[in-house]
């Protein structure tokens, strides 16, 4: 197993291009299960999670080829309804194959999911939505068993304790495309990744309105056809690179960015002292003067993304003053706090709040990644810290950031791998 070694501090400078969105591509790949016709998907990031989803598709009777950012998917003629624990347990997003399999084959057996350990993330909203469409569902030996002769359109409310669910919205939306009649999803997730999935489904022949808003309307059709699609840029990778520019007091031009997807983040970074220059599909980030302490609360889109909470905390550790970061999506998503404190940060957790007192500098130290975004947060800390930092369990990082080492090297970072 490898670890990532970073020698800091570094000042990042130059140009970098953002990859396609991990959170958009995974349900879009699952949506190809709704048709027997070929699909071509472009700007697909080469990630652990992407390759896991391709393995799942192959296990379900698809031929999936991945070449230079393009995935070509076709049918082998032997569609399967069983998604095995060995694959699904490694990645939470793989659970979104449930809706497409059930809608297409009238039955599905899908393992309960796994992924990052950032607190309890149940699938109750997924099952609530699928049940509302008329499916019979039971859970046996860690698997969800679902069956329905044909799903039927219905109204379903998908608001949860901590807001709307992106994956549940996608799962129900995919299932509803082949249901009989009209489905209305209320309290639907508004994230750009949900809208991108809807655009892909529409290209396949689905009838969907309202995607990107809290109410999505789907009129079921008898069948869907193949299509081609280009994945939107990864807004979380873009945000991570923006934070990297500030924590290293650098100057980075970030290409392949949709700034309209980053409104809340850009607002907070500017409040913290960033000078951000937007263009059609790029953004330049540098420090205007001195960093300023800010308070941040994570919220469903278009609020501040929970997937940027750890990275903004890393930035605040070296920002003068006191910042309060409140996590309202996953209240247990604070396992990076102890690792940042190992590097000299002053962070105290109180329930869903993290109180960060900025220090003059962080110190390099051996740390351990607990989840995907925590690993990105530790990379940022290592870039700003004095001395050598080593980050273990970087397989988490590989789940969501394509070629991140090469991208940081190109910006002037001293970063390399070593065997544990």
Catalogue the active-site residues.
116
Between CA 327 and CA 369 the distance in angstroms is: 19
Between CA 220 and CA 199 the distance in angstroms is: 15
> Which phi-psi region, left, alpha or beta, contains residue 55 (left: φ > 0; alpha: ψ -120 to 50)?
alpha
Between CA 183 and CA 110 the distance in angstroms is: 23
Q: Which residues pair with 20 in a beta bridge?
A: 233
* 302 preceded by a cis bond (ω within 30 of 0): yes
Could you give the C-alpha distances from 54 to 26, 58, 206, 312, 404, in angstroms and in order?
Answer: 9, 6, 23, 32, 21
Backbone phi, then psi, for 308, in 5-degree steps?
-110, 5
Residue 189 three-state SS = coil
* 9 preceded by a cis bond (ω within 30 of 0): yes
The tokens of 282 are what? 């790029």
The tokens of 1 are what? 């197993």
Between CA 71 and CA 81 the distance in angstroms is: 22
Could you give the C-alpha distances from 246 to 90, 252, 285, 372, 417, in angstroms and in order?
Answer: 33, 9, 7, 21, 24
Between CA 310 and CA 345 the distance in angstroms is: 13
Q: How far is CA 170 from the centre of its chain?
A: 13
Between CA 193 and CA 173 the distance in angstroms is: 13
> Could you tell me whether strands 346-350 and 353-357 are parallel, antiparallel, or unpaired per DSSP bridges?
antiparallel
Residue 145 three-state SS = strand
Give the closest residue to 268 by CA, choosing from 297, 247, 301, 228: 297
């Amino acid at each position: 197993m490898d670890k990532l070694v970073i020698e800091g501090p570094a000042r990042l400078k130059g140009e970098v291009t953002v990859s396609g969105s991990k959170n958009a591509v995974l349900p879009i790949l699952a949506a190809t299960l709704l048709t027997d016709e070929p699909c071509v998907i472009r700007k697909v990031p080469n990630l652990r999670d992407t390759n896991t989803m391709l393995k799942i598709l192959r296990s379900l009777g698809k031929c999936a080829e991945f070449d230079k950012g393009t995935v070509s998917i076709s049918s082998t003629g032997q569609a399967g309804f069983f998604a095995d624990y060995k694959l699904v347990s490694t990645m939470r997003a793989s659970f979104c194959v449930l809706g497409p399999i059930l809608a297409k084959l009238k039955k599905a057996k899908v393992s309960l999911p796994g992924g990052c350990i950032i607190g309890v993330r149940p699938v109750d909203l997924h099952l609530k939505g699928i049940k509302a469409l008329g499916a019979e569902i039971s859970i046996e030996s860690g698997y969800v068993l679902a069956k329905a002769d044909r799903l039927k359109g219905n109204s379903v409310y998908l608001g949860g304790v901590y807001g709307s669910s992106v994956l549940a919205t996608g799962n129900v939306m995919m299932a509803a495309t082949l249901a009989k009649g009209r489905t209305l999803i209320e309290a639907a997730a508004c994230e750009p990744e949900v809208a991108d999935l809807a655009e892909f489904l529409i290209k396949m022949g689905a009838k969907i309105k309202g995607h990107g808003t809290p109410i999505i309307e789907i009129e079921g059709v008898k069948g869907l056809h193949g299509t081609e699609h280009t994945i939107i840029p990864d807004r979380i990778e873009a945000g991570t690179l923006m934070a990297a520019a500030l924590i290293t007091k650098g100057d980075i031009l970030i290409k392949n960015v949709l700034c309209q997807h980053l409104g809340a983040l850009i607002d907070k970074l500017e409040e913290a002292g960033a000078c951000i220059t937007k263009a059609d599909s790029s953004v330049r980030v540098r420090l205007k003067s001195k960093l300023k302490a800010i308070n941040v609360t994570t919220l469903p889109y278009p609020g501040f993304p929970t997937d940027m909470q750890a990275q903004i905390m890393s930035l605040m550790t070296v920002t003068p003053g006191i910042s309060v970061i409140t996590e309202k999506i996953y209240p247990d998503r604070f396992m990076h706090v102890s690792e940042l404190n190992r590097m000299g940060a002053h962070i105290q957790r109180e329930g869903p709040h993290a109180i960060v007192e900025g220090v003059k500098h962080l110190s390099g130290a051996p740390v351990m990644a607990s989840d995907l975004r925590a690993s990105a947060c530790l990379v940022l800390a290592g870039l700003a810290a004095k001395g050598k930092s080593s980050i273990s369990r970087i397989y988490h990082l590989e789940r969501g950031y394509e070629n991140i080492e090469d991208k940081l090297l190109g910006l002037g970072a001293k970063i390399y791998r070593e065997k544990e």
